[in-house]
Amino acid sequence: MTDQRPVLIAGGGIGGLTTAIALGRKDIDSQVLERSAFDNEAGAGIQLGPNATRILGPLGVLDVLMPKTFRPEAVWLFDGLSGKKLATVPLGDTAERRYGAPYLTAHRADLHEALRAAAANARHVTLTPNFTVASIEDGGGITVASLDGPSVQGSALVGADGIWSTVRKWIAPEASLSFTGATAFRSLLPLGSLTSPFSEPIVGLWLGPRTHLVHYPVRSGEALNVVAVTETGRKEEGWNRSAETETVRANFTRWCETAQGLLEFAPSWRAWSLFSLSALPQWHRGPITLLGDAAHPVLPYLAQGAALAIEDAATLADHLDAARGSPGAAFQAYERVRGVRADRVRRTSQRLGRAYHMGDAGLGGMARIARNAILGLRGADATLRGFDWLYGDGR
């Protein structure tokens, strides 16, 4: 007989909430155990490629989120030192026609609230706030105890508890996170006061030695999200500590005036040290598995970490539905499919990071000149086609 207890989900972030909604659509009960009051989303932007919006649409999340999003018309690439525009990659109608789903940008808090609202209204979903998963027992079902003492029982457990995952420590205690030496600084600016190219309806991507800068509108175009990534900084946990304006600007002193001008507008900065995870021998152990950043954190150079978590959620729900009563078999099949996809995104993100950060002297300088020339020569549509494997329905 099928176990009637819910699938427990540790972590009510982007991946955990999407999993609960996707399971609900298959009439599978779940209980989301979240350490916060579901209100912990820090102020920053997020890009949602068609591979993510294709899943969020049918789950009813886009209906709520869409009015708060922005649909950029293109990515414009610039050389950060010279300020020269290098290339345009079309998004907007072109991407939506090609992939059958829109490319959007959003404020993370708006995405998280749309997911929370959809989960709260979904059948088969129980949201449990202020529950910090502390220990796990696997025997005749799963028992998860919280830091405060109370425990809950379920038929299976999905660890969607982010990069510092507690569930991962249980599945792969030997796995370790290491600081990459890079930091992402993030700020939110009122868009009204800015001029071109920052006021354009685009994603701007500025490349420079050991640094790059990304900006795009969020909140239906009211604010500009700015991310400055530098190969500097300290190893610190958490993604929302404050950073001195001078610390950020010091990394851009040799950049063109236009880009430096944007940094001067930023009222404040939050910093996030970037970590990578050693390869896991496996993501699952019997009826317990990992999802999203808990399983495969990726560097943000391809803007795909959240999209991967959303894809994981949809695939996991498909496999749990297909193998009812056998979560272990479902999780094995899920990991087989998702491991390949996540690894390709991880490797591509690393490669892009190296290309973004090419130097300005010696061999690095020559590589930068070659990169800029190649970007200029490649047609706009050809560049977008290069992402078909990612934005198409390849999960």
Residues designated as active site:
216
Question: Using the rule CB under 6 A, is 280 a contact of ligand FAD?
Answer: no
Site string for ligand FAD, 180-199 (x = CB under 6 A): ----x-x-------------
Residues 140-169 binding ligand FAD (CB under 6 A) are 160-162, 166
Interacting stretch for ligand FAD, rule CB under 6 A, among 35-43, 317-325, 349-357, 358-366?
Answer: 35-43
Question: Using the rule CB under 6 A, is 251 a contact of ligand FAD?
Answer: no
For ligand FAD, which residue of 8, 20, 22, 47 counts as binding (CB under 6 A)? 47
Nearer to ligand FAD, 28 or 55 (CB): 55
C-alpha neighbours within 13 Å on the C-beta side of residue 76:
17
- The site for ligand FAD, by CB under 6 A, has a size of 34
CA–CA gap between residue 284 and residue 157 (Å, rounded): 10
Residues 86-145 binding ligand FAD (CB under 6 A) are 132-133
Nearer to ligand FAD, 13 or 50 (CB): 13
Tell me the closest approach of the beta carbon of residue 376 to ligand FAD, in angstroms: 25
For ligand FAD, which residue of 292, 301, 357, 390 counts as binding (CB under 6 A)? 292
CA–CA gap between residue 224 and residue 136 (Å, rounded): 42
Tell me the closest approach of the beta carbon of residue 275 to ligand FAD, in angstroms: 9
For ligand FAD, which residue of 304, 315, 348, 372 counts as binding (CB under 6 A)? 304
Interacting stretch for ligand FAD, rule CB under 6 A, among 192-200, 262-270, 292-300, 371-379?
Answer: 292-300
Nearer to ligand FAD, 157 or 372 (CB): 157
Question: Using the rule CB under 6 A, is 50 a contact of ligand FAD?
Answer: no
**By the criterion CB under 6 A, which residues form the site for ligand FAD?**
10-16, 33-36, 40, 46-47, 132-133, 160-162, 166, 184, 186, 227, 272, 292-294, 300, 303-307, 309
